[in-house]
Amino acid sequence: MISASLPAAEKRSVALGMKRGAALRCPNCGEGHLYRKYLKVQVCEVCGNDNTRYPADDAPPYFTILLVGHLVVAPMLFFPWIWQANVWLVLGTVMPALLIATLALLPVVKGAVVGLHWALEPRHAVEEA
């Protein structure tokens, strides 16, 4: 609906949708907020695009765990401190850090998934024809 007002180059690009979603913005206009709570997707208050119709399901937690596991946990295992320090000290410091990293990354990844769905929405292809 509103996408008709966008320039042709900006219409439903995967990179654009994922970039806007990862920035926690509406993938359709890039202005409105994607969430009204921590992970509760809302209808855009700027362009009116119903962002709730893009199902993210289990993809955001999966990709978040994948990213945190590969970018944080795996490199952390190369530090000798992890293997030499008291296990309770390691768990007491590493687990809260991993929790914070995971909870901080989850909305970003979910936004990117919603942006991907926005870009690949099949109904849009019908409207274009």
Catalog residues that contact Zn ion under the rule CB under 5 A. Answer: 26, 28-29, 32, 44, 46-47, 49
Could you give the C-alpha distances from 82 to 102, 109, 121, in angstroms and in order? 19, 28, 45
User: Cβ 98 to Zn ion, closest distance in Å?
Assistant: 33
Helix (H) or strand (E) holding 45: none
CA–CA dist 84, 90 (Å, integer): 9
Nearer to Zn ion, 31 or 128 (CB): 31
User: Cβ 60 to Zn ion, closest distance in Å?
Assistant: 20
Nearer to Zn ion, 28 or 64 (CB): 28
Nearer to Zn ion, 60 or 115 (CB): 115
User: Cβ 73 to Zn ion, closest distance in Å?
Assistant: 35
User: Nearest CA to 51 among 75, 77, 30, 71?
Assistant: 30
